[in-house]
Amino acid sequence: MPNPSVVAPQKRKADLEKAKLMAYNGEAPNIELMFNPTEISFSRTVNWEKHTGNRGTSLLPKINFSGVEPYKFTLKQLIFDTYETKESVMKYIDIIKKGVETIQGKPDKRPPVYIFTWNKEYFYCVINSLTYTLNMFLSDGTPVRAMVDISLEEVDPKNLPGGLESAPTGANRPQDSRITGTSN
């Protein structure tokens, strides 16, 4: 006979961590993916400047490193599905569309910055392009499934668009301590 004072360990279901695009400073609604991506592709371009007139013995042009482009990454074939609830999938698509529209009430007229997270913070980024396809409808024409591709580009978290205003000029400008020999 089992001892009633012994508690059997319970198996706990692991919580599924959803990927999200968290709007920086709450400047737009967060985008939570309904289903996690099956793959994320990353790309980065390195820039080399060619000097065609300056050639070595191999006759190849001399090149100099001129910088790197930010990482670009794509979330492909994201599925949004509201068939079971019979409501329009556009309520999710409309939130995503805000990522490629200018923020209302912002003086710098730009789309929002996001932080891509999936259990951890990956990148600060902006949405470069959005493609969505509505591919399932109810009998009355209500769209209930969409396939979404989002292309993102990394931005520097220390130099975000819409960040601090430029330094003051003229008499209000703080003196450079290297010039005056004082510290601010």
| pLDDT by residue, tens only, the chain of 184 residues | 555 555 555 555 557 889 999 999 899 999 999 998 888 889 999 999 987 777 777 778 888 899 999 999 999 999 999 999 999 999 999 999 999 999 877 777 889 999 999 988 889 999 999 999 999 999 999 999 999 999 999 999 998 876 544 444 444 444 444 444 554 4
Task: Pick the closest to residue 65 from 50, 52, 54 (CA basis).
Answer: 50
Domain encompassing residue 99: 20-51+62-158
Q: Which pLDDT belongs to residue 8?
A: 54
Residue 57 in domain: no
What is the per-residue pLDDT for 59? 77
Q: DSSP labels for 87-130?
A: --THHHHHHHHGGGSPPTT-TT--PPPEEEESSSEEEEEEEEEE
CB atoms near residue 90 (< 10 Å):
17
pTM to 2 decimals?
0.72
Q: Is 145 part of a structural domain of the chain?
A: yes
Residue 179's pLDDT is what? 43
174 lies in some domain: no
Domains contained in the chain, number? 1
Residue 79 included in any domain: yes
The answer to whether residue 180 sits within a structural domain is: no
- Beta strands 61-68 and 72-81: pairing type? unpaired
**129 in any annotated domain:** yes
Per-residue pLDDT, 10: 57
Residue 167 counted as domain residue: no
Instruction: Outline where DSSP puts E strands in 1-113.
Output: 20-23, 31-32, 40-43, 46-55, 61-68, 72-81
- For residue 86, tell me if it sits in a domain: yes
